Amino acid sequence: MTDIVFLLLLFFMLTSTLIAPNALKLLIPQAGQSVDIVQNIPEVELRHSGMILVDGRSVQFEQLGLILNQKLTGQTDPTIRLITAPDVTVKETVKIMNVAAVNNYKVVLLKK
Amino acid sequence: MAISSRNKTDLNFSLSGMTDIVFLLLLFFMLASTLIVPVAMNVLLPQSNNQTASNPIVTVTITNQLQYMVDEEECTFDQLETLLKEKLGHLEEPPTIRLNADENIDMNEIYDFLEIAKNNRYKVILGTRPM
């Protein structure tokens, strides 16, 4: 009995410290950061109508991961710029940020 | 001899006391781990499956009705910056803020908040719920 209870105790103690909350990092462009210009950073634009543009070309949401993958393969610090219209909801933006997060891309948020 | 010590200590090890304490601790941790993120206001977070390890010091909540909250304290947008400065002003390194924004609000509100964060060099993470 003590064995089992002790084991459970240890398990819960460990798991409760290991919980990482679900969240996304928000990066905003800082003044004086112009090093990134050397790399070409794809620009993802999100319009109010739900249209997604990658470097000016309209894409479907499902293809977004694939297209970004093509553009960013081989880069050491893959980053995308996400430009949203002011009246786009958080939900839509997070959907795109999640695609980037799954592929370990950094997202820099820009207001249009 | 006729004289002998009356209180002899029982040398046998008894498990029951130990089990009690361990059981209590077990219950405590089980309950505490479920109570870890209490949401005070009705905010529907956007969904993502990304986890970040950075631990935020302050939580800012924006509801559907554009009510603002710093931790448990309700405030207006104009008070937000002063409140945050009060809470985080004494810290040396840039603190992290968790932003719990409702998924149906416009990015405009987020950008307004990020403006404050940028001016004060706060790091911001956007709270999400698992998919």
Residue B67's domain spans which residues?
58-126
Q: Alpha helix (H) ranges present in chain A?
A: 2-18, 61-72, 90-102
Note whether residue B108 is domain-resident. yes
CB contact under 8 Å between B51 and A86, yes or no, is no
pLDDT for B100-115, tens place per residue?
A: 888 888 888 888 888 8
Least CB–CB distance from A97: residue in B48, B103, B105: B48
pLDDT for A8-20, tens place per residue?
A: 888 888 887 777 7
The backbone torsions φ and ψ at residue A23, rounded to the nearest 5 degrees and listed phi first, read -165, 160
CB contact under 8 Å between B105 and A23, yes or no, is no
Q: What is the mean pLDDT of chain A?
A: 82
Q: What is the ipTM of this complex?
A: 0.74
Q: pLDDT at residue B60 above 70?
A: yes
Note whether residue B86 is domain-resident. yes
Q: What tokens were used for A1?
A: 């009995």
Among B72, B73, B70, residue whose Cα is nearest residue B88: B70
Note whether residue B7 is domain-resident. no
Minimum Cα–Cα distance from A17: chain B residue: B33
Q: pLDDT at residue B98 above 80?
A: yes
pLDDT at residue B40, as a whole number: 58
Q: Taking the domains of chain A in order of start, what are their residue ranges?
A: 24-111
pLDDT for B2-55, tens place per residue?
A: 677 777 777 787 778 888 888 888 888 888 777 766 555 677 788 888 877 777
Percentage of chain A beyond pLDDT 70 is 91
CATH class of the domain whose range is A24-111: alpha beta
Number of domains in chain B: 1
Note whether residue B70 is domain-resident. yes
CB contact under 8 Å between B111 and A111, yes or no, is yes
DSSP H or E stretch at residue A43: strand A43-46
Residues A40, A80, A32, CA angle at the centre, nearest 5°? 75
Note whether residue B14 is domain-resident. no
Residue A33, chain B, CB below 8 Å: the answer is no
CATH code at position B67:
3.30.420.270
